[in-house]
Amino acid sequence: MNDAIQDEIIKEFDGLEWFDKYGLLISFAKELEPMDEEFKTEDNSISGCQSKVWIRSYNKDGKLIFDLDSDAMITKGIIALVAKVVNNRAPQEILNADLYFIDKIGLKSNLSPARSNGLESIISRIKEVAEKEASQIN
């Protein structure tokens, strides 16, 4: 996986205080396309998150596209970052990905336990989708 996107994210957050990091997360949230209401279903929701989070995926020419949304701006900003890193990647790339930017920008250490667990649930769902898609290729 091309780590340039993760390195770019790290650079954007580097040196910011947490108040400013939250502001940056909110700006990423505003850039994320809202999910159509018809896709905000129970099947697309992620349990284990403090906020409501929905994830939808599809395969486009062998690359996975994830459509993510949340009803909370901070969470939406976090999933926008995750989407930047994993979107348009082959399933195997996603399975092998080390999402190191999460630790490097201090997300896990500065999130509430509930939000941190939610982030883990989101990443787990993305990896599950990638695993399912990879098994269909092989």
Residue scoring higher pLDDT (108 or 10) = 10
Interval 125-135: pLDDT, tens: 999 999 999 99
Catalytic: 49?
yes
d(CA 64, CA 47): 22
**Per-residue model confidence as pLDDT tens digits over 4-49:** 999 999 999 999 999 999 999 999 999 999 999 999 999 999 987 7
Structural domains in the chain (count):
1
Q: Which residues contact 114 (CB under 8 A, 6 or more apart)?
A: 49, 50
pTM to 2 decimal places: 0.92
Bridge partners (DSSP) listed for residue 53? 70
Kindly state the DSSP code that residue 90 receives in the 8-state scheme: -
Across the chain, mean pLDDT equals 93
Q: What is the mean pLDDT of residues 40-64?
A: 93
For residue 101, the domain's CATH number is 3.90.1010.10
Query: Which of 49, 74, 79, 102 does the annotation list as catalytic?
Result: 49
Domain that includes residue 116, residue range = 4-137
